Structure 1
Amino acid sequence: MLNLAKNLSRIVYDFLIEAGLSETLSSYLNLFILLIASVLFVWALDFTIWKVLRWVTVVLAKRTRTNFDNFLVLNRVPLYIAHILPLVVLFELMPIAFVDFELGGWIAEKILKILIVVLTIFTARAFLRAVRDYLKTKARFKDKPIDSFIQVFMILAWIVGILAIIFVITELEIWKFFTALGAGSAIVLLIFKDSILGLVASIQVSINDMVRIGDWITFEKYEADGNIIEITLATVKVQNFDRTITTIPTYSLISDSFKNWRGMQMSDGRRIKRALIISQKSIRFLSTEDVEELKRIQLITKYLDTRSSEIDTHNALNKADKSLAINGRNLTNLGVFRKYVLTYLESQPVINKKMSLMVRQLEPTPQGIPLEIYAFIKDKRWENYEYIVADIFDHLLSALPYFKLELYELPVVLNKR
């Protein structure tokens, strides 16, 4: 076989010698002509294979129900595959072309081996991208960090490819290479520190289901407040509600604290946790006339009737001196208002009654008494939620004067001239 190849490579050379050219010139012309012939042959082979592969791909795409083959074409996988065989054939033709140039042939073979390795890596990358695009069309994978896993495989492919290129260039034995690699492991770890941290973080984020694409997160350290649009090996992209994009290192998701609102979005309601600060000076006991006036408020009429009767009975049994309001048991405007707020919330169809619902009085502050509303709204959409909360507090703020209560307001200090 070797003799046959050598005889083929000498046909042009012999013809040139017979034509009267020198051996040196004949050798260079022979090399040039054989290289041109090899390249033209390989180009024709490449063109033919690409045409056949494209035709086969189109036929398969029409006959198969899956659209995976469409993503293969979009990512040019058939095109890369079509280049591999012609490149291998060109490698095999090099000994024929460089028959009189051993060093040149050796260099050409090295270059072609490296090109084959690089082309194989590019083919693997295109295939992995096609897999990524295909999986993103599936509902069960839409919120998974597919990009992170693809990048892990790509890193492994590039590592193998770089090692193969080093072996091709240096012709080192494998065990000697890994001995040298072990000695330089500290440098390797330093160079790939972020990638290693990102890899570990991506695995932990995926296994523990900490975040998904589409999750609303709040990350105060990076001033991020919005939805996750991309998770890669090194970064997580968050589109904030002001439409800006914040990029967060993936490993920060496991090293720092952040808030994921997915639990709220998956629950049966969105929480209200907001307080009215009541001025302490406006809180007082209610007189009989006050109670009778408040009974006109329909939501608490029944409550006031029952409660007043209980209090009057208790005070009579204990002979309380009601010449002073502090004696015995009494209703207060804040207590009645608290009951009114609870009854009002229970009457609203937008409030989820199956979840926590309470109106509680918090510890007094220098500003006043916080009266906190703790409830859950059925509609979790942000715009609707804010509209409903505003309606509720508009009503409560307007109701305060009926109970002779006032909100705390910071006193206005006038400049003295």
Structure 2
Amino acid sequence: MGESLKNLVTDYLLKTGMSEATAAYFNLFLLLSALLVIVAILDIVIWKVLRIFSVRLARRSKTNFDNYLVAHKVPRYLARILPLMLLLRFVPLIFSEFPTWQGLMEKFLQICVVVLTLVIVKSILKSTNDHLKSTTRYRDKPIDSYIQVFVIFVWLMGLLTIFAIITDTTVWKFFTALGAASAVILLIFKDSIMGFVASIQVSINDMVRIGDWITFQKYGADGDVIEITLATVKVQNFDMTITTIPTYALISDSFKNWRGMETSGGRRIKRSIAICQKSIRFLKEEDVEKLRKIQLITPYLETREKQIEEFNKKHQFNREIPINGRNMTNFGVFREYTTQYLKNHPGVNQKMTLMVRQLSPTPQGIPLEIYAFSADKRWVNYENVMSDIFDHLLAAIPYFDLKIFEYPTTYSGIPHVEQVEVE
């Protein structure tokens, strides 16, 4: 039917006295113009139908996937499939009298089909990526890495198909050539392959998620993971700078992930106070009586004093020298006071490890370490809780006749200013 219509137009032009060459070109122009008009109208009609259908589907659908499809113009690209097929069907017929142009147009339209297919697949993959990121289950997974792998594979297949169309060969011949040049390909895509493998291992082993706080000293990263792609991991540091880390570095190097702390019941407090060794001594009776006024350790002092007295009487120690038998020290009582203070502090998680321990003596004194967990894991509140604890303990140390170790300085305290009477 198309051939008859084309000949009918050509015959009519020849009857008007037009030469065959002119009639052929004029016939080509008329048929091509009519085809383009029909294709344009068909494209508009199909797009409007698909748009109405997609809007109704989006209103009835319970998921957001169709919204992402519309946002990435998937229905618009799908509307161009039928018009492009129409061009592919009739353009060779229109250019039948021009073999050179016919071959070029066929190749051009075939390439357009491949490119349109690539664009549609890429848009669907992007829509899938955005939809998965909006779900709770996949929000913190490295979906970008897998999508990028699929995109690279699709574009590679598309480029091979385009080269096959241009050179009039089959795709399998290109695959054979790629097999021979596999070493070069592996060298070119080394980072992408390593990143893909690393992404799989990171996902399977659940090493890093988007939103995790990680510390990577080698790359100067200390902040939240905001993106995991095929080649890089982006970390937004707490000073709002962005650090880019190779994905494969997550499995080849050591880094710290703070997710365990964030999902636990508290954030660890581990800090010590250096006590001057010369200030540690045995407590006398008058010292014990004085310390009884501190309510947190009053029960402890009473119980401890009875236990020590019974033990010393049982073994008949000479109590003229405090070193004989058992005795309390100001350092030990302060350690108990610190423990009781932490147990009564509202900012400390009482369900997690709580310990006040004495570390090995050092040239800088004897460290008294606080090992506990704050109930509030937020950074600012955590620092406030820790500062509040040590503010109190540093101020409480003199009540136990202890001193904090400090290097000798020329500072002798606040100078006394004498008041001068004004006449």
Q: TM-score range by the shorter chain?
A: over 0.9
* Matched residue type, 1:295: R
* Equivalent position of 1:236 in the other structure: 233
- 1:206-217 paired onto structure 2 within 5 Å: 206-217=203-214
Are the aligned partners of 1:212 and 1:228 in contact in 2 as well (CA < 8 Å)? yes
* Equivalent position of 1:204 in the other structure: 201
Are the aligned partners of 2:161 and 2:171 in contact in 1 as well (CA < 8 Å)? no
1:190-247 Cα deviation digits (max 9, x unpaired): 2211211111111111111111122111111222222222222222222222222222
Q: Counterparts of 2:107 and 2:407 in 1: how far apart (Å)? A: 81
Q: Counterparts of 1:398 and 1:123 in 2: how far apart (Å)? A: 70
Partner of residue 385 from structure 1, selected from 368, 382, 387: 382
Give 3-state SS (helix, strand or coil) of 1:359's partner. Answer: strand
Give 3-state SS (helix, strand or coil) of 1:139's partner. Answer: coil
What is the CA-CA distance between 1:287 and the residue it aligns to?
2.2
* Equivalent position of 1:95 in the other structure: 92
Give the alignment's TM-score, normalised by structure 2.
0.91
Are the aligned partners of 1:9 and 1:99 in contact in 2 as well (CA < 8 Å)? no
- 1:15-414 paired onto structure 2 within 5 Å: 15-412=12-409
Structure 1 vs Structure 2 CA RMSD? 2.1
Q: Counterparts of 2:8 and 2:203 in 1: how far apart (Å)? A: 64
Q: Counterparts of 1:216 and 1:167 in 2: how far apart (Å)? A: 48
Q: Counterparts of 2:107 and 2:12 in 1: how far apart (Å)? A: 30
What is the CA-CA distance between 1:317 and the residue it aligns to?
4.2
Give 3-state SS (helix, strand or coil) of 1:243's partner. Answer: coil
Q: Counterparts of 2:355 and 2:32 in 1: how far apart (Å)? A: 87
What is the CA-CA distance between 1:96 and the residue it aligns to?
2.0
- Could you say if the C-alpha distance between residues 324 and 204 of structure 1 is closer, same or farther in structure 2, counting changes exceeding 3 Å? same
Q: Counterparts of 2:247 and 2:8 in 1: how far apart (Å)? A: 63
What are the ranges of 5 or more consecutive residues in structure 1 without an aligned counterpart? Answer: none
What is the CA-CA distance between 1:141 and the residue it aligns to?
2.2
Q: Counterparts of 1:180 and 1:213 in 2: how far apart (Å)? A: 40
Q: Counterparts of 2:408 and 2:12 in 1: how far apart (Å)? A: 109
Are the aligned partners of 1:6 and 1:99 in contact in 2 as well (CA < 8 Å)? no
* Equivalent position of 1:9 in the other structure: 6
- Could you say if the C-alpha distance between residues 6 and 410 of structure 1 is closer, same or farther in structure 2, counting changes exceeding 3 Å? farther
Give 3-state SS (helix, strand or coil) of 1:140's partner. Answer: coil
Q: Counterparts of 1:7 and 1:358 in 2: how far apart (Å)? A: 97
Give 3-state SS (helix, strand or coil) of 1:364's partner. Answer: coil
- Could you say if the C-alpha distance between residues 24 and 78 of structure 1 is closer, same or farther in structure 2, counting changes exceeding 3 Å? same
Are the aligned partners of 2:211 and 2:226 in contact in 1 as well (CA < 8 Å)? yes
Q: Counterparts of 1:65 and 1:396 in 2: how far apart (Å)? A: 57
Per mean C-alpha deviation after superposition, the further-off stretch among 159-168 and 69-78 is 159-168
Give the alignment's TM-score, normalised by structure 1.
0.92
Are the aligned partners of 1:91 and 1:109 in contact in 2 as well (CA < 8 Å)? yes
What are the ranges of 5 or more consecutive residues in structure 2 without an aligned counterpart? Answer: 412-423
What is the CA-CA distance between 1:189 and the residue it aligns to?
1.1
- Could you say if the C-alpha distance between residues 89 and 411 of structure 1 is closer, same or farther in structure 2, counting changes exceeding 3 Å? farther
- Could you say if the C-alpha distance between residues 176 and 130 of structure 1 is closer, same or farther in structure 2, counting changes exceeding 3 Å? closer
Give 3-state SS (helix, strand or coil) of 1:229's partner. Answer: strand
Are the aligned partners of 1:359 and 1:371 in contact in 2 as well (CA < 8 Å)? yes
Q: Counterparts of 1:313 and 1:52 in 2: how far apart (Å)? A: 97
What is the CA-CA distance between 1:369 and the residue it aligns to?
1.1
Q: Counterparts of 1:48 and 1:132 in 2: how far apart (Å)? A: 30
Are the aligned partners of 2:92 and 2:105 in contact in 1 as well (CA < 8 Å)? no
What is the CA-CA distance between 1:86 and the residue it aligns to?
0.8
* Equivalent position of 2:418 in the other structure: none
What is the CA-CA distance between 1:18 and the residue it aligns to?
3.5
Are the aligned partners of 1:279 and 1:407 in contact in 2 as well (CA < 8 Å)? yes
What is the CA-CA distance between 1:131 and the residue it aligns to?
1.9
What is the CA-CA distance between 1:323 and the residue it aligns to?
4.1
Q: Counterparts of 2:406 and 2:167 in 1: how far apart (Å)? A: 80
What is the CA-CA distance between 1:105 and the residue it aligns to?
1.0
Give 3-state SS (helix, strand or coil) of 2:273's partner. Answer: strand
What is the CA-CA distance between 1:413 and the residue it aligns to?
6.9
Q: Counterparts of 1:304 and 1:361 in 2: how far apart (Å)? A: 20
Are the aligned partners of 1:8 and 1:96 in contact in 2 as well (CA < 8 Å)? no
Per mean C-alpha deviation after superposition, the further-off stretch among 168-177 and 212-221 is 168-177
Q: Counterparts of 2:225 and 2:175 in 1: how far apart (Å)? A: 40
What is the CA-CA distance between 1:280 and the residue it aligns to?
2.0
Per mean C-alpha deviation after superposition, the further-off stretch among 403-412 and 312-321 is 312-321
